[in-house]
Every structure is written in C-alpha cells, then in structure tokens.
Structure 1
Amino acid sequence: MAFPLVRHRRLRSTAGLRNLVRETNLSVNDFIAPIFVTEGSLIKEEISSMPGVYHWSLDTMEQELEEFAELGIQAVLVFGVPEHKDSTGTSAYDENGIVQKAIRKIKALHPEMVVIADTCLCQFTDHGHCGVVHTTECGAEIGNDDSLELLAKAAVSQAKAGADIIAPSNMMDGFVSAIRHALDEAGFANTPIMSYAVKYSSAYYGPFREAAHSTPQFGDRKTYQMDPANAREALREAQSDVEEGADFLMVKPGLAYLDIVRMLKDRYSLPIVIYNVSAEYSMVKAAALQGWIDERAIVLETLTGMKRAGADLIITYHAKDAARWLRGN
C-alpha cells in the first residue's frame, strides 16, 4: 500500500497538539462592546430585534458597565438616543447631549475603560441622514462640506467630554481630515480617530436602526455609503483616510466583507477593526432561539473567522457572551 507523503492529521490528533499549532487566537482583549444610552431614568429596555441588547439610561447603565468590567471587556462604543432631534442634529454636538453625558459618566465610573464615541448625525437629525439635507430642483441632497463642520464640532465635544477615541461613521468625503484638524486645534492632538473607513450601504443594519432610532425618513444612504458590489473602491476610501490621519481603519459590516478586511490588512499597517453588525447578531440569536444552531459554537467560529481574515479588533454585540465562553463558562 502506498502511504501519503504527508500526514496532515498528525498535528490534529489531540486537543493539546491542536492548541499548540493554532494559528488564530481569540481573546476578550479583541472585543469592543456597543452600548445604547438614552435620556430618561430607570430605563433598561430590551431592543426587540436584538435579544440581550438594551437601551440604558444614565442612572442604570452602571449595571452594564460593571458586567463589561467583570468580564474583562476593556472598550465600549457609545451610541446616544437623544430626546431632541432637528434638521442639523444639534444634540450631536451639545455639551449636555446624551453621548457627552454618557462619556462623562462612564469615565467617572470606570476611568480605565476605553470609551469610543460614535461620531455621526443620523441619530440626532429629524430626517435620519448622516449630514445636512439641502432641497434642490432635483430633490433632496446631502451636503458634504457643511456636514463636515458639524461632525467636527461633534468630535471635539466628545473629546472634551472624555472620549478616548473618536469613531466617525458618516462617510462624508474628507471627514477624517476635518475631524483631525478640529481635534488638533482644540488641543486633542493625541486623541485617535477610528475611521469607519469602508462602510457599505448594507441591509445588515436593520436592527441597529431600531436601536438607534436612526432610520432615514426619506430615501436611503447610497449616495454616501458604499455599494456592496465594490472592492477596489474600498481601497480608495481607506487610502484617503490613511492620508488624512486615521489611526484605525474599520470595515462595516463584517460577515459579507471579510475579503475587504483581508485586502486592508495586507495593504496597511494600521490596526484593522471589523464591525460584527446588528443583523449578523440578530440572525444568530433568532436561529439559536429556534434551537436550529449551537449559538456558542457559531459565535466563536464567526469571531475567530473575522480575526483570521485580518481584524485586530471586533466590535460585537456578542461581546459579553463570547467573553464568558472564552472563560469556559
């Protein structure tokens, strides 16, 4: 009998051997946990399309933060749900806006926690778009440069509140440059920018829009978010952000865009972030509730796949569960 020249299975024969040769390792240090903070008091309200994810008021969110800290989750991404919305999203850059108040509260309770501020206008505008809307003869148009002015104001207000990282998600042209200049001018030259560099106009955002109350009131976001069919364009977007001073590059969503993560990882030396978005989370939760899948196995395999594709950091709603499972709980 002719034997195979190479026996790959030798290194798979025991758990110990598999552990020794494992190429990709998932750790709680890889996770960034989103948190949704809203005005009001005594609020802990589960988001119907995202089981296990809640709206928190400032007086109740300590419960969530304590759980993050106990599990070893070191970074949170803050989303605010404001009481007031208007056409230019003034609550986004209000010193007493919900995001700014949440940042101050988190830093007071857990000064060691890395607080990342999502910087956009969509949650704060009454039209739900990520910039200023202009009415033209051809219809509504999202203004780019005047939107940058407001986004820069929002970033500075978040940094003043104590944000460790600014994470602009608006996809306006030149947003990294505008925010970098504004932060530097305001004395925050050492505050990093985690750019949503490659953000696609995706169907995977549905549950998030319920969570953030940010569904556009007309049209869609296809004139500023990327076409899911395009890959080379992602490199142009990322290159612009690198040249403008980004400190991290993010790809959003995750599962359908792992090829883009690998492209960025191979080309750039900056840390690569992937956003394991709301529908990716909700689909797993829905299937698990039906008993169709092993939730733990699916989640850990998915997150490991994201790291293997090249992600250094993973924003995920699975953060708490994954942290427990990695502990063996």
Structure 2
Amino acid sequence: MAAVVPRIKLGSQGLEVSKQGLGCMSMSSAVYGPPKPETEMIALIHHAINSGITFLDTSDAYGPHTNEILIGKALKGGYREKVQLATKFSITDMLSKAEIRGDPEYVRASCEASLKRLDVDYIDLYYIHRIDTRVPIEVTMGELKKLVEEGKIKYIGLSEASASTIRRAHAVHPITAIQNEWSLWSRDLEEELIPTCRELGIGIVAYSPLGRGFLSAGPSLIQNLPEGDFRKIFPRFQGENLEHNRAVYEGICELGRRKGCSPSQIALAWVHHQGEDVSPIPGTTKVENLDENVGALRVELSPEEVSELSSLADLVKGDRHAFMNNTWKNADTPPLSSWNKTAA
C-alpha cells in the first residue's frame, strides 16, 4: 500500500504532483559516476511510486538519452498512469562544452525524440532545460505552445531562467513551474525568482535540495565519490571552502540530533517548509536513502528552527556550480523584433 505522501498543486494550470519528487539523473548520467544497473534502478523507481512519490524528473541530456529510456521501461505495466512525468530539452551535450538550442525545429525534434524514448503519448511537464540566449524566448515558447495544443505535452516549465525571461515566456503561454537549485546553501533564487513566480502563479521545483549530497553526508562525501564524478571539481568541495562549509553540515546535524532526524531529513524539511508551491526532487540510487527522504515529509520545524537553519547560508563559501556560466541563471534573450527581422 502506498505511503501517504501529500500532494500539491504545482502552478495554477491544474498540475498536481507529490510534494516530494524523484530526480533520476544519477541513475544513468556519467556526471555522477558510472550508470547504475538498470534492473536495480527500475526496482527503485517502482518502490518510489509505491511509496507515494509520483513526480519523476529526467532530461534528454541525462546519459545522454539513456535516462529517458530507463524511465520508459520503468513505466511499463500500468505505472505510467500513476506518475507525473517531467523531462527537459535544449542542452545538446552535457558532458562537454554545452550548446543550448531553443529554435523551433529543435524544440519539436527534441519533444518527438523524448516521446519515443520514454514510449509515452504525452509528457506531463516539459522544461526548457537552459535558455538559448540567441533565440527570443517568445519563439521557443511559441513552438511549445503548439505542442501543448497537439496534446504532446501538458504543461511547460523553465529551468534556471531569469525573472525577465520568465515573464516574457509566461506572456506567450502560462508557465507551470520553474526548476532551480534550491537548498539550505543555494538560495540565490529567493531575491527575485521566487517572488516573480508567486506573483504569476508558477510552482517551484527544487533540484539538488541536499546540496548534491553534502547536506546529507558532509565532507566525507568527497572522499567516497567514484572516479569521474563531476562533484569533485565543485568550488564548495575544494580545500578551504570544504573545511569552511563543514560548519553548515554540523549545524544541520545539531538540529537533527535534537529532533531525532537525519541530516538529509532536516535539509529536506527546510525546503518543504518554504511553501505549499514547492516540490523538491532529491535524487538517489538507493532504496534506503529514498525511504529516509520520504521521512522528511513528517518532520515539523518551528519558525525558530527554520530561521536557525536559514542562517547557515551565511556561512557558505564557494560558488554552487563548477561552471556558473553554464547555469544560464541570469540568461535573457533577444527581443522578438530581432528574430522577425532575421526571419524576414
């Protein structure tokens, strides 16, 4: 019998998802070490769904392509009807110098390819993974709107877009969700993006809510990473930054000891307490970690405890990503008029 996992309305267009989702990237993507055994990952996905975690997150860039194929296999046997499936497009090569494409031809071709790999008739939530700064966002959104009208996707999302890009996109077709890194130690979206989304009725999906594992395991995480894991080069995991950031992990552990919770549960509970329009998508490849993450939904934090945890962000040293330019977090696009002139 499925666990009782609360559901939330993500955005204002009608999408309902589990209050906590499952990020699937690490199951297949080489950026977190070697891909994991397919049969084990399918069993993990089934366990998540049976536990009430029904919001699955993937991308055509994960693998690339192999993660979508894995998810497609996992959804056979009646599981498709139980989940809200999110995938993404626009990153043509995640493992080298990423090229970003948002032109209409690429939008359509990417969607068709994802539908085929996932072996589904429609995608619940289709994200622009990163913003193509060469193409007006209105042009990219125009093609996505057509895909909605054709029934190939139900809802549209953006990842790591600027507030102005979100507004321009939303004017073409309602945006249901943004997906951004958000955790106790990655909070740059709070100043402008969160207020913009709440003004427009857009839900928030928090990726890396456990600080890419650091908020769960602390500095020992780095010692145990496999060869090829790109987290080894992240600024927050280097030298003095790593030692300095130990204090963030210790602060989480201290509250966890007082409440009888694991560090992971405390860090996730903080994200859950940021609002009823937020669904974090922690990734894992282990059943025991998934069960622990589900337990975070039962953790109650007082306003004072939320404030105590929030203050830990002031201690963080180092950028949240090894290649901050590749997050495109402040990306704006040319005005629509420039594309019209080019097209003419």
Q: TM-score, normalization: structure 2?
A: 0.44
Greater percentage in helix:
2
**Which has more radius of gyration?**
1
Q: TM-score, normalised by structure 1?
A: 0.46
